Amino acid sequence: EAQVTQNPRYLITVTGKKLTVTCSQNMNHEYMSWYRQDPGLGLRQIYYSMNVEVTDKGDVPEGYKVSRKEKRNFPLILESPSPNQTSLYFCASWGNYEQFFGPGTRLTVL
């Protein structure tokens, strides 16, 4: 089954404690993205990647890092999380003229 998976689905952490949200797709897509969803703001792109070792900033990249060492994986790294990064995060991969989204990770930073 074609899918995008994310882990963890839920995470509560404290300010400053580094964390990584993993994302994996099994569709051999070249393009992958991370979004955050906040009330009234829709989905805003954090980072995207057009291929292995090729990443670029989206609209709200501050406070986030990504890496793309393999085609299937695109982890999102928060080196020093802050409360304003409390949000719902979605990973997505793109192919066949549509983006497939993961189920989401709800992150709370206290």
| 33 near other proteins, judged by CB under 8 A | yes
7 binds other proteins (CB under 8 A): no
Nearer to other proteins, 92 or 109 (CB): 92
How far from 31 is each of 3, 35, 51, 64, 82, CA to CA, in Å? 14, 13, 6, 18, 28
* Residue 62 in the binding site for other proteins (CB under 8 A): no
Q: For other proteins, which is the closer residue by CB, 19 or 50?
A: 50
Of 11-19, 29-37, 67-75, 76-84, the window that binds other proteins (rule: CB under 8 A) is: 29-37
CB of 107 to other proteins, least distance (A): 15
Residue listed under structure tokens 């990064």 = 85
Distance CA 104, CA 8 (A): 9
Farthest-apart Cα atoms in the chain, separation? 39
- Half-sphere exposure of 48 toward its Cβ, with a 13 Å CA cutoff? 14
Sketch the per residue contact string, 84 through 103, with other proteins: x for CB under 8 A, - otherwise: ------x-x-x--xxxxxxx
